Structure 1
Amino acid sequence: MDEQAETGPAGNAQAERSAGAWRYVRLLLLAGLVGVPVSVAAFAFLALLHWLTGFVWEDLPADLGHGVPPWWWPAPWLLVGGFATGAAVKWLPGGGGHVPIDGLSADPVKPSYLPGVLLAALGGLPLGVVLGPEAPLIAVGGAVALLVARRWGPEQGTPESAVLGTSGAAAAVAVIFGSPLVAAVFIMEAAGFARPRLTRVILPCLLAAGVGALVFTGLGDWTGLPVSSLSLPGLDAGAVLHVTDLLWTVPAAVAVAVLVKQVHVLGRALAPAAERRPMTMALTAVAVTAVAAGAYALLTGRSPVDVLLSGQDSLAELSRDPASITAWALVAMIVCKGVSYAVSLAALRGGPIFPGLFLGAAAGVLLSALPGFGTVPALAVGMAAATAAVLPLPVSAAVLVTLLLGADAASMAPVVLIAVVVAFVTERVLDRPRAGTEAVAA
């Protein structure tokens, strides 16, 4: 009787649970092992990208006697980048990777697509294309993970194989964001954000947390209530929120979200043409970018690099000394980089996050001229609103901007969270007409 019970339905169920638990443990071990080759590949990719960028925009101009690249310098390099990207999109498997106007995807990329992704990324991004490295980096991580899975992992096409590929993407994202926590939040939110119910829960939580944070961060001369919380010694915040900063947060976030939305509207309008004629549109996009960068340099006397590339290095300069850039230069920068960003989103290949983040930062510095709007709060609001408008991932946007703020993260958390929610809702409201048009067309 006992033997029969052990081999009956209950015994079979127990055996299946044990087998499932062992398969999951094996998957976890493989995911941990995959992180090593993925991180090495991601580091190599970023190191090569950084070296090429420095050679083209710093070393070579200096060797030719230019303190900064002259206004005409971007044109020949962008032409080469346009040909490389157009060739990858038109002739190689995978079309050079994910189309940036569609945002970011955590879905694993087939290893056979990797040559096209690398050609489009290394041939375009260091030569001035106004996109970031995060999308090709995700592709590299996912493809390397799937290559490893072919040898030691689960069968291709299974859910376990997809999980392993997504794990590789997370490991690669951690390299560019500089934090495994940000990578984990980003991948989890990207994978689960298709559920509208999750959105309805997340937004109220972010808003309540942002407003409630004022109790312990303080406002103006009131330092807030002392609480016991996790903190690192030596990271004393230098900026203080005031009532006027809070009053400006909502309209500023709406303005930045509308700005970023207009960039995306232009990019989406050009995307169908880019899909039909990839080479022509890639060359058109780099031509527009070269003209915009040259015009900016001639009008402001500054380097055309302000308009080019992902904006990561320029963002550091902007946040370090915002007063060094005049209001006129900021306006010219926003317009020229915004146009270049739009055409790049439609016709070229790369990630959409960092150029959008830079546009938000520039808009924030410009808005800091408003009475009572501090530079650091305005910068935080601009970056948070732009990131939330670029990606439909509010938690990831809040975590990323908070990480960038460093020692001011705790004091700026309320305006960051409020700006993320306001910008996200604004983007969704502005997107309703397009969604309705697509539904009617379908």
Structure 2
Amino acid sequence: MVNLLGRATDSVTALLSPVITAGQLNAAAAIRTHRRGYGGWTGAVNTDYDPLNPSTAAHPHAAYDALHRGGRVHYNPKRATWILHRLDDVRAALRDTDRVTSSQGVTRVRMVADLVVVTDDDQHSRLRKQVQPAFTKGALDGWRSIIDGLAAEMIDGMIAANGDDAVQRVTVPLPLRAIAAILGVPDSDIADFRRWSDDSTQLINFTPTPRGVVNTARSLRAAAALRRYFLRHLEDGHLKGSNTVLGRLLAYSTSGALTDNQLFYIAILLLIAGNETTTNLLGGMLHTYARHPDQYDMIRSNPELIPQAIEEHLRYTSPIQNLYRYTRADYQVGEVTIPTGSRVLMSFGAANRDPLAFDDPNTFRADRNPRSHLGFGYGPHLCLGAPLARMEAQAVLRELVDRVSRISLTGPATWSTNSSLRGPTHLPLVFHEKAIS
């Protein structure tokens, strides 16, 4: 079995090399860590909580409650993973990049690459500075009309359908088409773009098993197709001078410091940070209002609450449930020392429901002000695309409040089993149009 995994992970590394030429996916190291995991426990509360379990990933909140009833630090020997779940502890670890680093990856697989999401210190600051011009207020204001138009179009479609899957009609196409427009992808390429995007974002869910390696190989092929697509468009020059993310970055990079490969990495980052996460945010929001019409009525009667309500959705549904870090020095949490070289799960979903931080945390309150939530991470790696995701969610909620009197479930929702990115995968809803007075 181990030999099979070793050969398979070598194949994954070979497939990844043309996509992340500056990095290395060290899946073999992850498997070695797994093998020695049973001897790694030192002082934490042993747990069988497993975010990779599909049932737990789809419905994690009972597991989070159990973590909160236990100690500050848990350890899963099966996964050789330390778990931080309290809000203050996760925030502290995200700040302490000297000892708890992203530079070895943010998934279960150690990865080294010249990407803003998997770097720290001066390298991270340099890469973040390169990307920042794409997310200025001017850039966001320039895309607002696109997003408002898409929100109106999607709500039109759901009202006209008189009952349909909101995932297919709203939560997937809106962020995808917004990102496509912002990246300069024409409508004629949307179908391919969606398929490649859906497959490539599954890289975050790698597991060191034969099935996991096969799934990751498919993700890498999709990422390679995306890379060929963007490099072709960058080479033909039509993105230069455009009001797209890549066009704006090219305009700011007068020294030529940004290579086509680096621009492609930025595009991939946008897909993961601004596509799937926003889909999950929108799906969780619609599901919540269908189940809690009193909260929807509160927003309808007081639309000024919309920005605050979106923050509560980010806390309550946590589109990104967790990411990983690796310790490059012993790291103390209370009475527990997490050893150097350990894999640490940062449970954003559990932290966002920490009863020590939020009163009645398993209840959605549209008028709550959850300022300390971790919906977009925290610290140096606070999500660059957060303003864009907020803009999309607020546009949809404004459109709903203006035009829809009630949101009703017509059947059970199903939820993704991705261990890190959680949202509805099927959400049958009816949008009841407001009567015109």
Q: TM-score, normalised by structure 2?
A: 0.30
Higher helix proportion (structure 1 or 2)? 1
Bigger Rg over Cα: 1
Higher strand share: 2
